[in-house]
């Protein structure tokens, strides 16, 4: 699994890359803030929904602080996903380093 800082991810997205931005937080968290274009799939639903995700697609896993996303990333790798990236520091770091107008909680 690769790890991107918020600045790394912003720079990567600015090049036109379009990975799946997989937000693994809970719906109430997603309502507060999100990276534009991200898709919500709460962590607890991942095992039952992996067949809905292309295992060869580049996936950036996102959560609040980067802990749940790292766990999901490891799970995805163990189940055959080959291009997984964890957003280190999660949306909390994204709000501090990239988008200081993003609500935090």
SS3 per-residue string spanning the chain: CEEECHHHHHHHHHCCCCCEEEECCCHHHHHHCCCCCCEECCHHHHHHHHHHCCCCCCEEEECCCCHHHHHHHHHHHHCCCCCEEEECCHHHHHHHHCCCCCCCC
Please report the pLDDT score of residue 43 as a whole number. Answer: 98
Please report the pLDDT score of residue 28 as a whole number. Answer: 98
Residue of 33, 63, 85, 95 with catalytic role = 63
Cα 9 off chain centre by: 10
CA dist., res. 66 & res. 72, Å (int): 10
* Mean model confidence pLDDT for the chain: 97
pLDDT tens digit sequence for 76-98: 999 999 999 999 999 999 999 99
Domains defined along the chain, listed by start: 2-97 (3.40.250.10)
**Does 33 qualify as catalytic in the annotation?**
no
Name the pTM for this structure: 0.96
pLDDT tens digit sequence for 30-51: 999 999 999 999 999 999 999 9
């Amino acid at each position: 699994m690769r790890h991107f800082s918020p600045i790394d991810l912003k720079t990567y997205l600015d090049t036109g890359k379009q990975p799946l931005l997989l937000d693994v937080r809970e719906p109430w968290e997603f309502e507060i803030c999100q990276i534009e274009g991200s898709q919500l799939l709460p962590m607890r639903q991942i095992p039952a929904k992996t067949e809905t995700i292309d295992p060869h697609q580049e996936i950036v896993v996102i959560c609040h602080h980067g802990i749940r996303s790292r766990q999901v990333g490891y799970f995805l790798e163990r189940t055959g996903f080959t291009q997984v990236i964890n957003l280190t520091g999660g949306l909390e770091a994204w709000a501090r380093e990239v988008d200081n107008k993003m609500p935090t909680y």
